[in-house]
Structure 1
Amino acid sequence: MSNSTSPSGLSRRTFMTGSVTAAAAMPLMATSPKAAELSPARAAEPRDLSTISLRINKQAYTLALDNRTSLLDALRDHVGLTGTKKGCDHGQCGACTVLVDGKRVLSCLSFAVMNQGREITTVEGLASADGELHPVQQAFVDHDAFQCGYCTPGQIVSAIGCIDEGHAGSEDDIREYMSGNLCRCAAYPNIVAAIIQARDEIRRA
């Protein structure tokens, strides 16, 4: 390649080297902390806030929330009910399962504002007022149906929904209708056994 010099005093080799270096540096500049500081996520403005009333575990709560707040974040960050866990935050693991009007809901996929006027039940609201565990909670203890315990609140709430929906007729049914709740510790045999015990106890009650 010729290394001729232009009237500006730059050689062709110098120009090409500088251009390649600048092009290689552009992705690094775009992802640098400085670049991130220039485009922060838009903060909620007053018009984005709503004052809503939620009924959670038979108690009323009035909250001023960003309209984009998920039910999961409302429960954990604004009400202080941290039993409901944030796992994937994409509706794929089931750790955030709550009951809304008795039906299973993935709270990470539901906006808080959508749940006004509905009865929301979290794992904290399952035991009786005198501290007696719900039959599903007791069955999980009896069958050691957990290891690390992170998925357990979602598993228990989902199991209650599964039984109430009539989907706990057989072990295969339980596995199918609990398949949305993942356990990385693989305690599935114990979970199925616990649900069968709780199902039978609830039927006898």
Structure 2
Amino acid sequence: MEDTTGELRDRPLSEEPEFVDLVVGRDRDADNRSFGELLERLRWHAHLSRSDAAAKLGLSSEYLRLIEAGRRTPALGQMHNFLAAYGAEGETQKVMPGGDRPDLIVLDPLNGEPVIVEFTSRIREARRTALGGPPEDDETPLDESHRLDEGWTTRRAIELGIAVSLLVRADDATIRRVRQMLEGSSAARAGAAE
């Protein structure tokens, strides 16, 4: 497996811990390819064809092919499904001795060694920034005028990241109430606009 920890050591710890083997997501082509290859090895080890694995995962075979080629990256939230579908040994966001909580730890079926994977995304980057770390690829100060994308401000992305991180831990009843509240608020805004 390609050693990427050397390039990570030059980054501040608030961005990426040194113990990470792969950082996958936007603009991480080499790690995305290595991660795709790892997922492909897990699928082979489970004796699953790509179409059988895609059906178990609720994905198209083409999308799974793109993931395995490193051209797409599954979300961290999907990794539990991958581990279950492939019968792979691994854990998502397990608190380790010392307090670290890597996004994903999975045993590579090729050599039995653990692979530690960190996922990046706009929401995760915003949450990391909100918790005190710098934005991953942007040192611009946080202000309402800084646009990330169509209509997205850094502040909005941070708030969304925090809300999503809280919803991940919420029970089903709370999630339903939040959804109803948001749907009601959207309907009220639409009615006011008419």
Is TM-score (shorter-chain normalized) higher than 0.5?
Answer: no
Length-normalised TM-score, structure 1 = 0.24
More helix by share: 2
* TM-score, normalization by structure 2: 0.25
